[in-house]
Structure 1
Amino acid sequence: MYRGDGENTEGGGSAGLTCCSYNQDCTSLAIGTKIGYKLFSLGSVEQLDLVHENNEIPDVYIVERLFSSSLVVVVGHIKPRQMNIYHFKKGTEICNYSYSSNILSVRLNRQRLIVCLEESIYIHNIKDMKLLKTLIEIPPNLTGLCALSFNHSNSYLAYPGSCDVGEIVVYDANSLKSVCVIPAHDSLLAAFTFNSMGSKLASASEKGTVIRVFSIPEGQKLYEFRRGMKRYVNISSLVFSMDSQFLCASSNTETVHIFKLEQVADSRMDDPPTWTGYMGKMFMAATNYLPTQVSDMMNQDRAFANVRLNLSGQRNVCTLSTIQKLPRLLVASSDGHLYIYNLDPQDGGECVLIKRHSLFESKSEENKENDLGSPLPQSYAATVAKLSAVPSASTVPGYSEDGGALRGEVIPEHEFATGPVCLDDENEFPPNTFNDVTWKIHIVLWRSMTCFAILQVPYCL
């Protein structure tokens, strides 16, 4: 998720882009502004549909949507210690939580909601917002760096485990138990992310030169990619494609790198006996006799595809998504625009810009010209693109928490829902089978004195 200072208002007037994030399956984009927040649907290349707009919460710096549901989490600079959860379709607040210090990041899936502070992490059960666990013995996390697997069957949580090196702690937020500790980098961490299944974890350090991918829950290194060697960069966005075939990294430079997760070394051993194949085998064998640092560098894979943005000094957040049956790279920039590129999944190379949308104008920018004054080019993929509806998310049955929670429930489960809750259907979450007129308010003060909650729940007469 990109978080900015809101100073750059180019293209956004007085609104000012303060943050932006994609939902878990990359079908929606949420942005925060100086005057509120907006939610967009990403189902089409040609059109950017505004799903919801709220101008009542000033200076939003965190906004997260749960898949395609109507649940959205918002935090603003006016009350940086308070998290508000809304049902935006109904225009109602579900609950709000206050904490002992500023909220730095929020992560959520269909089972868990994670709130990260500088020196603690709160794990909530998203079905009734009961606090299940507070992780307090963690190193100071000044930027709120954390990741949550959005595959609800495991709900792996990752957070920094050291203030000196790039160590990652992997925690099971379902069973509330530690899984493993990964010594990922020698320098401090800058970014890490899970793939869609929660079976892989990618990480980058503050140097930004090397990106590594580890297996989960074992913590074994699977891949190592080199982003560059000429200069250190600040990697701000790291994301897998939904099929886990590609990994995208963007930074404070003008280049976005896309890596392909495949075992190149294994394919070389199966090549026909040619002179180049023979020399390749000799080269690979020679690395076994070199110092570890040298051999690791020689074995690192370069980017499969890349994009050179027409932006300089802009902050951005990227994602890889399938839109209209073709792979796309999406770049949301602090200049107030969403850029859509075609990605060639076979040959890679330079990705082609095919569309640019304004995040502040009511209509998408049609037939815009690029900086060279010519129409935006179309790659081969654009010629075969056909409009198709984005498939709806699958129905997920309710989940009964079977232990591990702290004593003292916020809301009895029978009062929160009368049956399975479908968290990706905006018509069903939160449950709408209650009387919307009468409300019952629960106030709970945790024994730890670190947070309190005020929840408003429809009460069935």
Structure 2
Amino acid sequence: MSTGTRPGRLDASDGNTVNKPHLQPHLPLRNPDLYRYPPAPPKQPRGTNPPAALPPCPFCPSPMATPAAAPAPPNPNPVPDDPPPPPPQQEEEAPEQEQETSSPPPLAPTTSIERTPSGGEETESDDSSSVSSAASSAPAPAAAGGAAGRPFPAAKDLLHISFNQDYGCFAAGTKSGFRIYNCDPFREIFRRDLAAEGDGSGGGGIGVVEMLFRCNILALVGGGDNPHYPPNKVMIWDDHQSRCIGELSFRSPVRGVRLRRDRIIVVLENKIFVYNFADLKLVHQIETAPNPKGLCAVSQQPGSIVLVCPGAQKGQVRVEHYGARKTKFINAHTSRVACFALSQDGRLIATASTKGTLVRIYNAVEGNLLQEVRRGADRAEIYSLAFSNNLQYLAVSSDKGTIHVFNLKINVGSTANDKPMPAPESEIPHISPPLSFIKGVLPKYFHSEWSVAQFRLHEGEQYIVAFGHEKNTVAVVGMDGSFYRCQFDPVNGGEMLQLECYNFLKPSDQQ
């Protein structure tokens, strides 16, 4: 343990320490004035231009009651994964069953723990080279790197990409620091070259960058071959002061970080820790299945905190409703969960398994299956899922290189009594009356719900997706340094129209 670090509580289950924040004594996070972000002049290194800072974001953290920890119940009827025969394949129906138990914790009201199995799953087989700020100008469009052109050169310097909470910006972690970009219009807001501005503590590699909307507070985790910070620490960065104002330390590498205005969520390999943003006090600790990708999602609606993470069982997702003090377990798939997304209001969850052919949408409150859509017929690794703001569409990206947009047929005004939506008759193949007796035994593959719009990119590249602020637009960011903005036709569907294409990592920035 480094000098000046206060020892935390040792957890014997995996050896992690839950440390109190290591704060500079003259900048405590307990001070609520910190969250009003006074425009303090940033500390600039010698021989560089003054860096541009994010605009202030005035808000105050709101209190939240401490939830009661709830162990995940074992799966009484595990369904083994079937071998993947070629399509068409027979899918099993998803029976709706619930089992509710209650366990009173010693210091909190009773936590309701419910388990909702979704039944069997079909055998899926599928589908700027300057160190100073560049906010005044956007990079030139990359004509040759568009969807119809050749791929961008490999972005060897890029370690991480992620959208902010409202999808208006995205962050990139590199081997030399991090950068923040605006999506519409596309432009680089600022960059920090930590290797050049370093204090001698190491390289500049940043493996995780988590924004807090558009304010000056970010969460950073070191990464790459030469990390700027230890990979087992979460650093709270204040860009107005161009330095870290606090940290959280653990005994294993940090896999992911999620931020709310009142919470910090830190994801480790087998645990998730939830902290108060006002004082960095630990309020909840969750045991999960092995989670090397750092999967976690949290709602952003004020006054309603919903957190989704992998459950303790294979194919299970765990939903924490902190306002209602309720924990929900959803057996979403028979194979491991590869990706999931939570709507901004915390009402809908989209999940995909490691097979990558089907995406399922669940009611986050009751845990029942609302809709199932098909990405394709071949196995694929799902990289990203995203709901539109109006909850009418779902975007999906995978290693197949195609962005899919699905139409959601869900009544978002209902929560407690949502039922699965039947497929429209137009999506069911026509069967003549003499053969109508076999309609009930046809595999679901023949009347699956397919995407209404597609945008084809380069197979094998990792892309993340989000819906833009303009109507029917989708933003795509790739680990190859590409940014796309495209538009889909909700009536006619088909191929999306490419509106913009940029290489946000210029060739001079790549090694």
Contact 1:111 1:127 (C-alpha < 8 Å) held by counterparts: yes
Map 1:85-234 → 2, pairs under 5 A = 85-136=236-287, 138-163=288-313, 165-173=314-322, 177-229=325-377, 231-234=378-381
1:152-198 CA distances to partner (integer Å, 9 max, x unpaired)?
422211111145x31111112456x4421111111111000101211
Distance change (3 Å), C-alpha of 1:305 and 1:280: farther
Structure having the larger proportion of residues in strand: 1
Match of 2:486 in 1: 341
Match of 2:175 in 1: 34
Q: Which runs of 5+ in 1 are unaligned?
A: 1-8, 364-461
* 1:61 corresponds to which of 207, 210, 215: 207
Distance change (3 Å), C-alpha of 1:87 and 1:303: same
Q: Does residue 259 of structure 2 align to residue 259 of structure 1?
A: no
SS in 1 for 2:340: strand
Shift of the alpha carbon at 1:141? 2.1
Shift of the alpha carbon at 1:74? 0.8
Distance change (3 Å), C-alpha of 1:298 and 1:219: farther
Q: Does residue 375 of structure 2 align to residue 237 of structure 1?
A: no
Distance change (3 Å), C-alpha of 1:344 and 1:108: same
Distance change (3 Å), C-alpha of 1:29 and 1:154: same
Query: Take 2:170 and 2:219, find their aligned partners in 1: how far apart are those partners?
Result: 13
What TM-score, normalized by structure 2, do the two folds share? 0.60
Contact 1:11 1:358 (C-alpha < 8 Å) held by counterparts: no
1:56 maps to a residue whose letter is L
2:381 maps to a residue whose letter is N
Map 1:227-376 → 2, pairs under 5 A = 227-229=375-377, 231-262=378-409, 268=424, 289-290=440-441, 296-309=444-457, 311-322=458-469, 325-361=470-506
Query: Take 1:362 and 1:131, find their aligned partners in 2: how far apart are those partners?
Result: 43
Match of 1:418 in 2: none
Contact 1:12 1:359 (C-alpha < 8 Å) held by counterparts: no
Shift of the alpha carbon at 1:28? 0.5
Distance change (3 Å), C-alpha of 1:265 and 1:104: closer
Shift of the alpha carbon at 1:298? 4.5
Distance change (3 Å), C-alpha of 1:82 and 1:265: closer
RMSD (Å), alpha carbons: 3.1
2:306 maps to a residue whose letter is Y
2:311 maps to a residue whose letter is G
SS in 2 for 1:185: coil
SS in 1 for 2:451: coil
1:337-381 CA distances to partner (integer Å, 9 max, x unpaired)?
211111223322110212111213499xxxxxxxxxxxxxxxxxx
Shift of the alpha carbon at 1:122? 0.4
Shift of the alpha carbon at 1:245? 1.0
Shift of the alpha carbon at 1:208? 0.2
Contact 1:32 1:60 (C-alpha < 8 Å) held by counterparts: yes
Query: Take 2:437 and 2:373, find their aligned partners in 1: how far apart are those partners?
Result: 20
Shift of the alpha carbon at 1:268? 4.7
Shift of the alpha carbon at 1:50? 1.9
* 1:17 corresponds to which of 138, 149, 158: 158
Match of 2:32 in 1: none
Query: Take 1:140 and 1:127, find their aligned partners in 2: how far apart are those partners?
Result: 29
Distance change (3 Å), C-alpha of 1:110 and 1:347: farther
- Number of matched residues? 336
Q: Which has the higher contact order (CA 8 A, sep 6+)?
A: 2
